Amino acid sequence: MTDRPDSISRKLTAGVKAAGCAAKLSSIELGDVLRGLTTIDCKQLITSIENFEDAAVYKLTEDLAIVQTIDFFPPVLDDPYLYGRIAATNAISDIYAMGGTPILALNVLCFPVCDYPVDVVRDILRGGAEQASRAGVVIAGGHSIQAPEPVYGLAVTGLVNPEKVLTNSGARVGDKLVLCKPIGTGVGLLALKADIFSKQAQEALVESMTTLSKTALDCALAYKISAATDVTGFGLIGHMIEMARGSKARVRLFCDAVPLLPETKGLAEQGFVPAGAYANRKSYEQFCTYINDVDLPLCDLLYDPQTSGGLLFALGSSDVANLLNDLKKSGVAASCVGEFIDGSSGTIEVVFHGKDG
C-alpha cells in the first residue's frame, strides 16, 4: 500500500466553518433570498415555502399525498459513521414533522475526495443507510460532487393523507406546546470539538441527535395535533416564532420548563455558543418580550441552532397530560414548554412558569 499524504488523516470537522444545522442561512438571510421570487400557483400543492414549512406536500388523490424534503449539512463530529446517522435522522425528521411516513431517500454528498481515504466516505454513507433502514426508508441512489468541505444529507419522500397533514400554522389560542427532545446541541457540538465534554454528556448528545422522531409522532397522532414542526437551525425561539406567525397568535414560552442536554448550561456560561445562536438572536430578538429577564446562558440556549432536534407539537390543553404520559412510557423525554395566547401575531412572551403559572 502506498503512503497517503498526511492531509487524509485530518479530522472531518477540520476547516468546517459551521457544523450541522448551525450552517443554515439565518431567517433574515433566507427571507432576503426568497423575497421577490415567483410563488408557485398549483392546486395540488398543499404546502411549499410559505412560512418556512418543514417539507412540501403534493396531493395525488383524495386520500394520498407525497411529502418531499431535502436536508444536508457539514460534519458535526469526526466519526464519519455517526455523522451519516445524524444527518439522516435530521433529514427524515422533516417528514415526521408534517405527519408523514418516510419511505424513500436519495443521498446528497459533497466531498473533498483527495483529502480523505475512501473508507471515510463509505462510512458516512453506511451510517446514513443504516439509520434510514431503522426508519423504514430505502435509499435508492443519490448524487455526489467534489467540494472543499464535506457535506452530507438526504432528499426524502414520504406519504401522508391530505386531510392529516401537520403544518406549523394551525395552532389555536389556548393550545399548549410539547417539545420532544432537549435542546443544546449547538453548544454541545462546540464542546465536543474542544474535547471538554464528559463521556456521559457526549453519549447524551449523540443519543439525542440519532434518535428518530417516529415514536414521538406515533404517540402524538393519537391526539388532535393542531400544529407541528421540528426544532433545528432556527433554534427553539425561532421555530416557535414561525409557528406563532403562521397561526396568527402569540406564544408564551416557559423558559424554565425547557429541557437541556447535560452540561450545556455550564458550557454556555463559559462562552461555548455557536455563531448560529447569535444569528438567530439577531433575527428573532425583536419579536421577544421579557427575554432580557432570562440569564444569558439560558437565553443563548433558547437561540441555539439545533441539529436533529425534537418535534414540537401544539395541542389542546386537555390532552397535554395524557400525551406527556404516553411519550414518557414510550421512552421519549418530552416537556410542556409553552402555550399560545392572544396577542401580537408572531411574537413570544418569555416567562418563568414556576413563578408565573
Q: What is the DSSP letter of 48?
A: S
Structure-block grid coordinates of residue 238: 425561532
Cell output for 79: 466519526
Whole-angstrom distance between the N-terminal and C-terminal Cα of the chain? 67
Q: Which three cell numbers stand for residue 151?
A: 457535506
Distance, CA of 180 to CA of 327 (rounded, Å): 8
Least Cα distance to 45 among 167, 219, 211, 190 occurs for 167
**Would you list the DSSP string of 244-275?**
HHHHTSEEEEEGGG--B-TTHHHHHHTT---H
Calculate ∠ Cα 65-67-336, nearest 5°. 110
Torsion of CA 72, 235, 165, 225, to 10 degrees: 150
CA distance 234 to 214: 22
Set 21, 255, 288, 299: catalytic member: 21
Is 21 known to be catalytic? yes
- Report how far residue 331's alpha carbon sits from residue 325's, in angstroms, rounded to the nearest whole number: 10
Which residue type occupies 236?
L
Show which residues are catalytic: 21
